[in-house]
Amino acid sequence: MPLKPVARFSVSYLQVLDEKGKLDEKLEPQLSADDLKYLYRAMCLAREADQRLLKMQRQGRMGTFPLCTGQEATVCGATFALTEKDWYVGAYRDLGGRLMRGEPLSRYCLYWNGYEEGNVLPALGRTLPASVIVGAQTLHAVGIAYAMKYRSETDAAVLTFCGEGATSEGDFHEALNFASVWQAPVVFLCQNNQWAISVPREKQTHSRTIAQKAIAYDLPGLQVDGNDVLAVYKATKEALDRAKAGEGPSFIEAITYRLLMHTTSDDPAKYRTKQEEEDWWKRDPIPRFRRYLENKGLWNDASQAGLETEIRETVNQAVQELEATDRFKPDAPFDHVFGTPHPRTEQQRAEFLENLRREAADA
């Protein structure tokens, strides 16, 4: 018997605003002037916070943290598609989205300064704390979505972020499988920033696209220009609407780039070229979106100057709040090494506190 094809698949690519600012008006989402300016502010605030915290880390005032520079369009565009009833299940490279959901920057700083208390966000509705375990949050998202479906919540859905490195984790594939079987109202958004720490995308997976990984689980899979905030918003909004209509989960691959280091303990010069970085800086999502706003008559140099002053003040205030925090024990980490006190850790605690005392005396 001759072989007969039983199914055919394809992966589509979405771009609304290209690198040179050319707009496809047929695909342009209908957003108000205020919405567009809010979205631009969110991207600029995330960038300013990233740059300020990087300087503080180099000064010894911040712990190691992941940088989001270059990926603001992916995170902010997707988050803007959410309503207050939707769930936000992030990873760790999504600062812009967290700020948009109402997470105080000072709490974000506190967490990355080594205080788990920074991850306690009682005032935030339906927003999970940062998940550093690669890919684990995708399972949490599916569990939440299944519970929503069980409770007949039809006016909300779940959005979860991951990097392309997470798509090589078992948790990711289990999440997509369960989401598909249960037809759970969840949207998976992969920030494909080309590097799983120091492993390039082509060595991490041989798939021609990340989006095609959705095919195995019978999910709609779409590739989108992750540096085009309009395209990311449009794709995410349509996927969320689909989920709320009872049509199941979706998977979006956002093509973007991590312009700086993986974390502040990383040196990207050891594994990628300056030319590659320069090529991607030309695709920076923030200047692209600014040109779009200027072309619509919504932005000018005066607007930019006012925004930069305002967001610097916002970041300064968060830094002041962070550095005014003194209610935590400096030796708290020693409390959690073992379930009970241990002579060796108690000796280390005493040495640590004595060093602090000497530093204070010498100051």
- 1 has a pLDDT exceeding 90: no
pLDDT, one tens digit per residue, over 248-298 is: 999 999 999 999 999 999 999 999 999 999 999 999 999 999 999 999 999
Note the pLDDT of residue 21. Answer: 85
Separation between Cα atoms, residue 57 and residue 113, nearest integer Å: 9
Question: For residues 264, 266, 272 and 277, what is the CA-based torsion angle, rounded to 10 degrees?
Answer: 0
Note the pLDDT of residue 311. Answer: 98
pLDDT, mean of residues 35-48:
98
Comparing CA positions, the residue from 256, 284, 255, 285 lying closest to residue 11 is 255
- Three-state SS annotation for 82-104: CCCCCEEECCCCCHHHHHHCCCC
pLDDT, one tens digit per residue, over 171-212 is: 999 999 999 999 999 999 999 999 999 999 999 999 999 999
* Tokens coding 284: 């920076």
Note the pLDDT of residue 197. Answer: 93
Which positions are annotated as active-site residues? 258, 262, 271
Centroid of chain to Cα 239: 18
pLDDT, mean of residues 331-360:
93
Helix axes 33-58, 301-323, angle to 10 degrees: 50
Note the pLDDT of residue 248. Answer: 97
Contacts of 185 (CB under 8 A, 6+ apart): 145, 148, 149, 156, 157, 158, 243, 244, 246, 248, 249
Note the pLDDT of residue 116. Answer: 84
- 242 has a pLDDT exceeding 90: yes
Q: What is the DSSP letter of 163?
A: E
